[in-house]
Amino acid sequence: MIPPNSSESEFVTLVPPRADPVPALFDSPHSGTNYPDNFDVAIDHLKLRRTEDTFIDELFAAVPDYGATLIAARFPRCYVDPNRSDLDIDPAEFDGWQGAAEPTEKSRIGKGLIWTRFRGMDPLYTRPLTGDEALARIDKYWRPYHDAIAAAYDRIHEQFGCVYHADCHSMPSMGNIHDPDGETARPDFVISDHEGKSCSPAFFDLVVDYLRNAGFDVAINFPFKGGELTRRYSDPAANRHSLQIEINRKLYMDEVTIKKNSDFTKIQNLMTDLAQAVCNFAADQTLGGGN
């Protein structure tokens, strides 16, 4: 059941502040578990679910209690990924693609806007998707999510003169051969700001210092520098600040069974406390007093 006063479609959940609003926005673009009926894949469903950032929306569910807006995707990221550009398409992967395309290394290994391979390896489909199928996913799923994020940014900025946005994710505890870090164990958290381009140092340091003071191993901008959501909507010069939080899944869940582990509540409480710290920070950063 979604919280009172929130809105939900098959695409997006938006939970408004439940306390006095502050200029803070949290989003979870990869925690969606509503698989469309036409998502006919060639791999086991449980394996497919390992592409999700499962439970991230739950870990941050309390952020509206401190005045922030929370937005979460309901659809799975491997169907269409809200944290990729709508141009991140490799035309060679789709039958009859007619649209514009700016493929990246992600799309070339099958992990772009619309995934065609599981973690860059096993094929997801028994046939190539058509260009029309890809465009339909963009229009029906990707665009409503981005419309919700853009509208929240504009509303918050108009009200307060600033926005502090945390884009929330999880990561497998081990990388693979297609990842920048390779087949290595990952830190507890990775905090990213496109190497200093997407948010103020004060906002970035607040999050990093909070987690390190709590005893966690925190990496910065590696193996993740930030994705489309932090890149597209941030503009620190205009007081629009965005950073990405990646949480190691081993901290709160069983990565094989996709079930919460015994530390889930502990990590949820930690994220609630972090959200409160972000919201308190954001409340002090109204136009004229920000960084």
**Residue 291 clears pLDDT 90, i.e. is over it:** no
Q: Is residue 224 part of a domain?
A: yes
Q: Is residue 171 part of a domain?
A: yes
- The rounded distance, in Å, linking the Cα atoms of 262 and 241 is 34
**pTM higher than 0.85:** yes
Q: Is residue 273 part of a domain?
A: yes
Q: One-letter amino acid identity for 242?
A: S
Looking at the DSSP bridge assignments, the partners of residue 169 are: 246
Q: Work out the average pLDDT over 248-264.
A: 98
Number of domains in the chain: 1
- The rounded distance, in Å, linking the Cα atoms of 159 and 26 is 17
Q: Is residue 126 part of a domain?
A: yes
Residue numbers of the domain that contains 225: 7-82+114-283
- The rounded distance, in Å, linking the Cα atoms of 106 and 116 is 11
Q: Is residue 97 part of a domain?
A: no
Per-residue model confidence as pLDDT tens digits over 109-141: 999 999 999 887 889 999 999 999 999 999 999
Q: Is residue 289 part of a domain?
A: no
Instruction: Supply the pLDDT for residue 6.
Output: 57
Instruction: Supply the pLDDT for residue 118.
Output: 87
Q: Is residue 103 part of a domain?
A: no
State the CATH number of the domain containing residue 181.
3.40.630.40
Per-residue model confidence as pLDDT tens digits over 30-48: 999 999 999 999 999 999 9
Q: Is residue 236 part of a domain?
A: yes
